[in-house]
Structure 1
């Protein structure tokens, strides 16, 4: 009989596997050998078996954030964090940064609230007087738009006459002059290419810090929705120094208008990987965001926008999707508006049984009518959602930009997490870091409370969509695994699966939702061993 490398125990073990119970987990070669009571597993003890007793703690399957941008996010988080700041403070920070800027430096920031431009219109000229000749680049909170000043437009050579393969655009005024408002990634990249570079060492340090921070909050793995240009170099550099503290599953982006050569290059990346990272799947966009008017809606928003897909020819998206479905490659499609979500579901349904060869999912799903809720379960398509976007970026009184654009009826259909679960659908949860912070306990708390966990003064948004504590935990474990087609290797504490665990000081299933964010994480375990920043098991 095989003996265990380690016996890991705690007062409470939530296996999330109905057929498996116990307070002790036997591990061998990074996999779970068995689960049961200490007495039941005693026969697996050998002379070299390590004993790890977490005492009164609670063990769950290792938490998985189902939507992050841990490498692309490094570029997205350069400069000042402007998240949730009022315009007065934004201007103060930008003025200080411009005054302190070295020659050839830029003023940069991220997390800018679109509600700041209500009444004045989106554009960067409002910052010209405080930034002057120093180029300024600010990413909006939605990650799909940016604000730049006149100096940045000049530095990037932007004229307002630029065209794109997709529906990206450089906003212009009535005279055809660029306003400094850039919509969608291809337009934003015009300025990104002009930004001062960052050294490889700086990026490696920031990347390592992000992963260690995630591990410290109990995240054992994450689905990374991109494979940026230097992703491979970064993860390989970190692996030269030791194992990654978070398991990474990369899905490269395919943007609107992608050529057949581009599709083939993404397909060729499948399976590339290292000890704790790999490329699996592909990430599409069918639309943009509601806040910037680029989500694909059944009818226009309050400003007459939202009537088109990011793909200028949506049938080309369906063909590209089919290219991967036919090859058994998992797909994930960003779809926020009701028309966008419906189009993706229609496209997957048209693939017939071929779609069931692997996992397919839709990301975000911010507003959908009743008839789309049940289609996720019926088609076997997973919903990957971030209800924290709703709790942080919208208001119960519907005075926020997102709600105003949609109107009362469609705003009331936002982030229908509970409805999708009640209809039998798979619901994976995530943060979309850096769009919102990656703390999974805050994410779970918000999904239960439907308001920011640390803001009891804020009214909940659509409280009828609140998840139970178990549903929230499943969104970070068993349902996250199902959304990626990984139920045979992760998601529950079961024999044969990876020994990836999260250890809490208190039980997240019985704690008050308001207290979830304060529960200490005692350890994050990968392959049966505690990862960096925790005492070694």
Structure 2
């Protein structure tokens, strides 16, 4: 019997498959969006027919499409299309100038939203004088700007008024920073304190369904440009779920997407959340969109002292010398939620930026595993882990969802040092995690990171230095991993962590033909030049979805 010809054959000097049984190949064949043969050129050429397209790539390198286990693609697309985009390097004067210029083209009552402002700026902004300057720059229009962690906001007077925030009506959640001189809200709103402002914006109209769809499409398009063909969005609304499902039904979703349904919401202001959202998850399930996880915020972020640590923060006037931060749930509450979502067949991504919250997740995971519950569990961020907890991830089958993009250098690491002292120098124990047998999966946390470029994350994992060469120095170099390990973190490992290991993450027969073409074999050269490799094209299910200009 004559084999059915392939639709596409890819040939290159270097094809890294990420398949342990066959790590390298010279060619592979694609039919109906799936890989049907891979190996030597002669073997694959047997599937060549008169209409087969042959992609001869010569010295270029082919990797599996990159997989990002943690991003917020729709928020990134939204900022790119509809909001004021601010680099975190801006001073207060420069931020005000950008707001003023942006406001000139808007109606008098239009909202100005966007970001990100540096977390190191919050002290500068936390006073009435700065809020009044923002009022002037906006021409009285309501303003809501996100800080770089995307957990905190800066709002002006009009936005506070529309949100009902004032001296006698402070938000019940989070922290509202008051001016020490006059006692009024400064507009700096930490964690859940910013949700009323988000809700006020949404009441004004927010984005339309078409705009939500465009934002998701743009986020996927930007991810494709960096070679990403699968990702997990770490916190979605019904608007985002609807946009992803609609795109896939129309054949316009060019990536595998796993969505995380919010159990609680400390920052976004989405509605519904919790059980009402989880119950609707399958309504949005499509071929390439899988609402298979929930997201639990178990703490906040260290710069705002809302992360939970085993040892206290550096003392300050507001918190004293014995403040550890708090978790949003008790052991019993977390166990209850994780048991309930496991019964629905869902995994759990748990936001933990302190070692105290990570300890709580592991304690709950230990009880769940003893009860026979095998649901996937990810510790999201997990940059701080107690030494004795590192082996427990492998023992309990808990994934380390790491974000090497935001560890060093920059405004967030600077703030970490201010609130944690020397502990900030012992972040992201990735070598120890891998040596202990843990599954380590790579995530960008984009747009908290300025880009989702996996090559940036891979280089940072290998060198423990700034891949963008902005600052000297290294962060805990003993925790460096090899380039081969780092590539696996951003391909096969992340796919397995998301429940997509049988679909993507490696180039194997039967899997989706998701791959990226680079101008060189990035991980074969100098470690400090990995980021210099250029994405030439990105392919999803055998279709070219990005071509370099």
| TM over 0.5, shorter chain | yes
Whether the aligned pair in 1 keeps the contact of 2:38 and 2:44 (CA below 8 Å) is yes
Aligned to 1:289: 301
* Rounded Cα–Cα distance in structure 2 between residues aligned with 1:342 and 1:10: 46
**If the length of structure 1 is used for normalisation, what is the TM-score?**
0.89
Query: In the superposition, relative to structure 1, how do residues 270 and 377 fare at CA in structure 2: closer, same or farther (>3 Å)?
Result: farther
| Alignment of 1:428 onto 2:441 | yes
* Rounded Cα–Cα distance in structure 2 between residues aligned with 1:355 and 1:523: 44
1:128 equivalent among 128, 132, 143: 132
Aligned to 1:114: 119
Aligned to 1:340: 357
* Rounded Cα–Cα distance in structure 2 between residues aligned with 1:135 and 1:403: 33
SS in 2 for 1:509: helix
Query: In the superposition, relative to structure 1, how do residues 416 and 88 fare at CA in structure 2: closer, same or farther (>3 Å)?
Result: farther
Query: In the superposition, relative to structure 1, how do residues 427 and 332 fare at CA in structure 2: closer, same or farther (>3 Å)?
Result: same
Residues 447-526 of structure 1: pairs in structure 2 closer than 5 A: 447-455=461-469, 457-526=471-540
1:91 equivalent among 80, 93, 96: 96
* Rounded Cα–Cα distance in structure 2 between residues aligned with 1:130 and 1:179: 11
2:340 equivalent among 323, 326, 344: 323
Aligned to 2:163: 156
Question: Structure 1, residues 354-375: CA drift from partner, whole Å, max 9, x if none?
Answer: 6663422110012222112221
* 264-273 vs 330-339, greater mean Cα deviation: 264-273
Question: Structure 1, residues 351-410: CA drift from partner, whole Å, max 9, x if none?
Answer: 025666342211001222211222111211110111111114369xx8x221110121x2
Question: Structure 1, residues 228-260: CA drift from partner, whole Å, max 9, x if none?
Answer: 231233234434654322222111111069999
| Alignment of 1:25 onto 2:28 | yes
Aligned to 1:280: 292
* Rounded Cα–Cα distance in structure 2 between residues aligned with 1:310 and 1:173: 27
1:104 equivalent among 100, 105, 109: 109
Shift of 1:513: 3.2
* Rounded Cα–Cα distance in structure 2 between residues aligned with 1:534 and 1:48: 25
Whether the aligned pair in 1 keeps the contact of 2:171 and 2:196 (CA below 8 Å) is no
* Rounded Cα–Cα distance in structure 2 between residues aligned with 1:522 and 1:234: 28
| Alignment of 1:266 onto 2:282 | no
Residues 191-206 of structure 1: pairs in structure 2 closer than 5 A: 191-195=197-201, 196=204, 197-206=206-215
Shift of 1:420: 1.3
Whether the aligned pair in 1 keeps the contact of 2:263 and 2:273 (CA below 8 Å) is no
Residues 320-469 of structure 1: pairs in structure 2 closer than 5 A: 320-352=337-369, 357-393=374-410, 400-408=414-422, 410-436=423-449, 437-455=451-469, 457-469=471-483
SS in 2 for 1:233: helix
Query: In the superposition, relative to structure 1, how do residues 29 and 525 fare at CA in structure 2: closer, same or farther (>3 Å)?
Result: same
| Alignment of 1:180 onto 2:176 | no
| Alignment of 1:243 onto 2:255 | no
**If the length of structure 2 is used for normalisation, what is the TM-score?**
0.87
Question: Structure 1, residues 123-142: CA drift from partner, whole Å, max 9, x if none?
Answer: 56523134233322111111
Shift of 1:86: 2.7
Whether the aligned pair in 1 keeps the contact of 2:10 and 2:55 (CA below 8 Å) is yes
Unaligned runs of 5+ in 1: none
Query: In the superposition, relative to structure 1, how do residues 83 and 42 fare at CA in structure 2: closer, same or farther (>3 Å)?
Result: same
Unaligned runs of 5+ in 2: none
Shift of 1:342: 0.5
Aligned to 1:8: 10
Shift of 1:95: 4.2
Whether the aligned pair in 1 keeps the contact of 2:238 and 2:272 (CA below 8 Å) is no
SS in 1 for 2:113: strand
* Rounded Cα–Cα distance in structure 1 between residues aligned with 2:273 and 2:530: 47
Whether the aligned pair in 2 keeps the contact of 1:69 and 1:433 (CA below 8 Å) is yes
* 85-94 vs 195-204, greater mean Cα deviation: 195-204
Query: In the superposition, relative to structure 1, how do residues 353 and 481 fare at CA in structure 2: closer, same or farther (>3 Å)?
Result: farther
Shift of 1:212: 1.6
Question: Structure 1, residues 305-362: CA drift from partner, whole Å, max 9, x if none?
Answer: 8634352545312211121123432111010101001001111111025666342211
SS in 1 for 2:473: coil
Query: In the superposition, relative to structure 1, how do residues 33 and 87 fare at CA in structure 2: closer, same or farther (>3 Å)?
Result: same
Query: In the superposition, relative to structure 1, how do residues 510 and 339 fare at CA in structure 2: closer, same or farther (>3 Å)?
Result: same
* Cα RMSD after superposing both structures: 2.9
* Rounded Cα–Cα distance in structure 2 between residues aligned with 1:353 and 1:388: 35
Whether the aligned pair in 2 keeps the contact of 1:124 and 1:181 (CA below 8 Å) is no
Aligned to 1:190: 196
Q: Figure out how many residues of one structure are paired with residues of the other and give that number.
A: 527
Query: In the superposition, relative to structure 1, how do residues 224 and 456 fare at CA in structure 2: closer, same or farther (>3 Å)?
Result: closer
* Rounded Cα–Cα distance in structure 1 between residues aligned with 2:208 and 2:73: 17
Whether the aligned pair in 2 keeps the contact of 1:326 and 1:354 (CA below 8 Å) is no
Whether the aligned pair in 2 keeps the contact of 1:503 and 1:522 (CA below 8 Å) is yes
SS in 1 for 2:395: helix
